[in-house]
């Protein structure tokens, strides 16, 4: 796709003023000119919650060549993807805070901070070490690449499962998705950091949970749809695994009547791998860099594979 | 003190069978001969909870030259220290699990895992990053030396406060105790990893807490006596600081009627920096190594400074 790199940026739909202002400033700082959508060649989408408004909005901009989306997982937008536009997402941008959340989840669960946080009198001693533990990470994308350096000083035995078993720096073993059963069998914790696709939806089911050690933790920071929730509830109730820390659920928010809330070995966090507060400066920086790359005719960061859907 | 390195080890008082067996095995593995206390030249003390039994027990061993104590902080034993014996403790041995606990405390508090652990329905998003935070560590001993490598990938601004302001690898700034007010003023978290001495008892009082940022966390893994508890309760009630994570309290166990239990911004863990389960293989390894060093006439590890009391 050969595109003239015109300097005509729309930042919209504008329904989230704080984000609109931050992304508009980022475009201007990189030398971009902001114009109405009707004259735009670039659309910087500035409201992650407004996917439903996208078709009407983009129809106002017949000259738009490139659309920058403001999140890493673009499932709400997948139905809008086409081959008429170049699409970029925030993939990789939010990886560092999400990797930090994974470390928080590992240490909270291993050192029983979730139990101690609820105590109202001196509880029994408990806990186990992350130092030297075996950790299996499902997914070899930006989150995993940010996680591995954080795990490096801990002397962990790290296995990464990804589409293609190309080695990753910091992982002792890299396996393909077809070897997932072997990969989870020996782990103290299994971390789900996959993109949600037809291949990975429902990957964490009763059969896979049964392959895990009974003292192992499941950590999900991918998407709720990776896990068959009813299977997980049964596994947690019957101590098939030690516990789960979930930053993503299906649906979100997780309804108050979900059985997951009452399980003492399930910790649910409200999709805070990166919060808007943590993420806004990160996506603004990505928009700044991509604006500059666009204007200088260089390859953009975070280009979406329209066929793969991420 | 010139001592003949006799191969005659007593392991006692024997009131904790699991520890007794593990430390006896460690002595034998290093080539040590185990004898009754009456004939011993070395006493490997094998019950951290039995300090009160020590004077009677040591009086049975008039030839004992060296006493190996089984913990890092030896306050319960300080009244027994003398210049007639060579004393070694487990200092440095337990540092790695304690440093891990500090990381767990930092990430639990910064990422609000204590709040999410208590939630029974989808809570509001919250949390802040450890990545890039300013961390001040009070104490430059083994725990701090184990902590700094774990913090290395996080891009934190690290200040260490210690008796002598000699630089420590991994710390951007090292200050003496006389500059403690400056050291805590800018920190997102202040970690207490000091030995308890006359100089450091009560160091964390209302005046020092007032120097801290109102969004800063206090993390205490030293001893309960470092903190003036009433001052901390007031500071937490009045939001002088953001919160506290305490692995040590005064007294321990902390009574159920302590106001600390009901404060939502106070997380108390039951002295689990290292648990007996984590610590037993570590102290056994130290005993093994010190037995070998004793028999080969070399300098022992963890020699206690009798005057300093640690």
Q: For B117-135, how does the pLDDT look when each residue is reduced to its tens digit (9 = 90+)? A: 999 999 999 999 999 999 9
CB A263 within 8 A of CB A234: no
A75, pLDDT greater than 90: no
- Buried b vs exposed e over B165-204: b needs ≥16 C-beta within 10 Å? beebebbebbbebeebeebbeebbbbbbbbbbbeebeebb
Active site residue A223: yes
Smallest CA–CA distance from A129 into chain B, residue: B97
Cα separation, B136 vs B185, whole angstroms: 9
Q: Residue B74: which pLDDT band, with cuts at 50, 70 and 90? A: confident
Three-state DSSP at A106 gives helix
pLDDT band of B2, cuts 50, 70, 90: low
Residue A264 tokens read as 């003492």
A117/B114 CB distance under 8 A: yes
Residue listed under structure tokens 């020699």: B303
In chain B the domains, ranked by start, together with CATH numbers, are 9-93+275-295 (3.40.50.720), 95-268 (3.40.50.720)
| Chain A CB within 8 Å of residue B257 CB | no
Distance CA B257, CA B222 (A): 23
Q: Which residues pair with A220 in a beta bridge?
A: A192, A246
A5 touches chain B (CB under 8 A): no
Helices (H), ranges, chain A:
17-29, 54-58, 95-110, 113-118, 142-151, 180-185, 206-211, 229-237, 276-295
Give helix A276-295 / helix A95-110 axis angle, nearest 10°: 150
Asked if B153 and A153 come within 8 Å (Cβ–Cβ), the reply is: yes
Q: pLDDT class for A76, splitting at 50, 70, 90?
A: confident
How many CB pairs (< 8 A) connect A and B? 147
| Residues of B with Cβ-Cβ distance to A98 under 8 angstroms | none
Percent of chain B at pLDDT > 70 equals 99
Reported in sequence order, the residue ranges of chain A that DSSP labels E, i.e. its strands, are 9-12, 42-45, 66-68, 86-88, 134-138, 157-162, 173-176, 189-192, 217-220, 243-246, 266-268
| Distance (Å) from the alpha carbon of A16 to chain B's nearest alpha carbon | 17
Global pTM value: 0.86
Q: Is residue B49 within 8 angstroms of chain A, CB to CB? A: no
Complex-level ipTM: 0.86
Min Cα–Cα distance to chain A from B209, Å = 22
pLDDT per residue over A210-250, tens digit each?
999 999 999 999 999 999 999 999 999 999 999 999 999 99
pLDDT by residue (tens digit) across B95-109?
999 999 999 999 999
DSSP 3-state of B265: coil
Closest to B151 in 3D by CA, of B137, B165, B140: B137
Q: Closest Cα to residue A129, out of B246, B114, B280? A: B280
Instruction: Tell me the average pLDDT of chain B.
Output: 95
Measure the CA–CA gap between B168 and B179, rounded to whole angstroms.
16
Q: Is residue A307 flagged as an active site residue?
A: no
What is the total residue count of chain B? 310
Average pLDDT, chain A: 95
What was the pLDDT predicted at B131?
Answer: 95
* Per-residue confidence (pLDDT) for residue A143, from 0 to 100: 94
Tell me the per-residue pLDDT of B126-176, one tens digit each, with 9 for 90 and over. 999 999 999 999 999 999 999 999 999 999 999 999 988 889 999 999 999
Question: Model confidence over A154-193: pLDDT tens digits?
Answer: 999 999 999 888 899 999 999 999 999 999 999 999 999 9
Distances (CA, A) of A139 to A143, A215, A234, B24, B300: 8, 22, 25, 46, 47
Contact assessment for residue A253 and residue A221, using Cβ atoms and an 8 Å cutoff = no
pLDDT band at A12 (very low <50, low <70, confident <90, very high): very high
What digits encode the pLDDT tens for the residues A121-132?
999 999 999 999
Residue A2 pLDDT:
60
pLDDT of A1 over the 60 cut: no
- Locate B253 and state its tokens: 């166990």
A80 sits in the region (left: phi over 0; alpha: psi -120 to 50; else beta) called alpha
Degrees, nearest 5: CA angle B273-B284-B148: 40
Q: List, for residues B3-32, the tens digit of each pLDDT value.
A: 789 999 999 999 999 999 999 999 999 999
Structure tokens at A41: 């060649």
Is A252 in the active site?
Answer: yes
Does the structure show a pLDDT above 70 at B289?
A: yes
């Amino acid at each position: 796709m050969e595109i003239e790199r015109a300097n005509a940026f729309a930042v919209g739909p504008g329904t989230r003023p704080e984000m609109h202002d931050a992304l508009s400033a980022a475009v201007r700082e990189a030398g971009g000119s902001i114009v109405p959508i009707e004259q735009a060649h670039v659309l910087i989408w500035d409201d992650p919650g407004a996917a439903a408004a996208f078709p009407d909005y983009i129809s106002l901009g017949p000259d738009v060549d490139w659309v920058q989306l403001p999140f890493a997982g673009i499932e709400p937008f997948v139905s809008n993807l086409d081959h008429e536009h170049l699409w970029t997402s925030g993939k990789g941008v939010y990886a560092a805070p999400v990797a930090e959340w994974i470390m928080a989840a590992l240490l909270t669960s291993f050192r029983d901070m979730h139990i101690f946080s609820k105590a109202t009198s001196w509880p029994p001693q408990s806990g186990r070490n992350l130092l030297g533990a075996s950790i299996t990470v499902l997914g070899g994308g930006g989150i995993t690449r940010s996680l591995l350096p954080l795990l490096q000083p801990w002397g962990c035995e790290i296995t990464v499962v990804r589409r293609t078993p190309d080695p990753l720096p910091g992982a002792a073993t890299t396996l393909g998705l077809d070897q997932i059963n072997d990969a989870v069998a020996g782990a103290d914790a299994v971390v789900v950091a996959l993109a949600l696709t037809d291949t990975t939806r429902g990957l964490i089911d009763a059969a896979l949970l049964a392959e895990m050690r009974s003292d192992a933790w499941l950590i999900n920071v991918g998407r709720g749809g990776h896990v068959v929730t009813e299977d997980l509830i049964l596994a947690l109730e019957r101590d098939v695994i030690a516990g789960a820390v979930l930053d993503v659920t299906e649906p979100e928010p997780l309804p108050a009547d979900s059985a997951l809330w009452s399980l003492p070995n399930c910790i649910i966090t409200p999709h805070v791998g990166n919060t808007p507060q943590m993420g806004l400066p990160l996506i603004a920086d990505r928009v700044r860099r991509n604006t500059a790359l666009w204007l200088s005719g260089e390859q953009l960061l975070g280009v979406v594979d329209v066929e793969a859907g991420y």
